[in-house]
Structure 1
Amino acid sequence: MLYPSTRVVIDCTEIKTERPSSLALGSKCYSSYKSSHTWKGLVGIAPHGALTFVSSLYTGSMSDVEITKLCGLIELLESGDSIMADKGFVLNKVLDGTGITVNTPPFLMSHGQFRRQEVEETQTIAKLRIHIERHIHRVKEYHLFDSIIPLSMVGTINQLWTVANMLTLFKGPLVKDWH
Structure 2
Amino acid sequence: MTYKTLIGINPRGVITFVSDLWAGSISDKQLTKKCGILDLLEEGDAIMADKGFLIKDLTTPRGIEVIIPPFKTKYKRLTKREVEETRRIANLRIHIERAIERVKNFRILQGNVPITLAGQTSKIWKLCSKLSNCQPPLVTDR
User: Structure 1-normalised TM-score?
Assistant: 0.74
Q: Structure 2: which 5+ runs fail to align? A: none
1:61-100 alignment to 2 at 5 Å? 61-100=25-64
Conserved? CA contact 2:8–2:16, under 8 Å? yes
3-state SS of 2:123 partner = helix
The equivalent residue for 2:4 is 40
3-state SS of 2:8 partner = strand
Q: CA deviation at 1:151?
A: 2.2
Q: Using the alignment, how far apart are the partners of 1:65 and 1:123 within structure 2?
A: 25
Q: What count of residue pairs does the alignment treat as equivalent? A: 142
Higher relative helix content: 2
3-state SS of 1:102 partner = strand
Q: CA deviation at 1:136?
A: 0.9
Higher relative strand content: 1
Q: Using the alignment, how far apart are the partners of 1:96 and 1:139 within structure 2?
A: 30
The equivalent residue for 1:137 is 101
AA aligned to 1:116 is: K
In structure 2, which of residues 110, 120, 123 is the aligned counterpart of residue 146 of structure 1?
Answer: 110
**Aligned pair 1:174/2:138, yes or no?**
yes
Q: CA deviation at 1:64?
A: 2.1
Q: Structure 1: which 5+ runs fail to align? A: 1-36
AA aligned to 1:177 is: D
AA aligned to 2:85 is: E
The equivalent residue for 1:57 is 21
Give RMSD over aligned pairs: 1.4
Q: Using the alignment, how far apart are the partners of 2:54 and 2:87 within structure 1?
A: 19
Q: CA deviation at 1:156?
A: 1.0
Q: CA deviation at 1:177?
A: 3.1
Displacement over 4 Å in runs of 4+: none
AA aligned to 2:72 is: L
User: Structure 2-normalised TM-score?
Assistant: 0.93
Q: CA deviation at 1:112?
A: 3.5
Q: CA deviation at 1:65?
A: 2.5
3-state SS of 1:124 partner = helix
Q: CA deviation at 1:150?
A: 2.1
Q: Percent identity over the alignment?
A: 45
Q: Using the alignment, how far apart are the partners of 2:139 and 2:79 within structure 1?
A: 29
Residue deviations 1:51-100, cap 9 Å, x none?
11000010010122221121101110111111111112111111241111
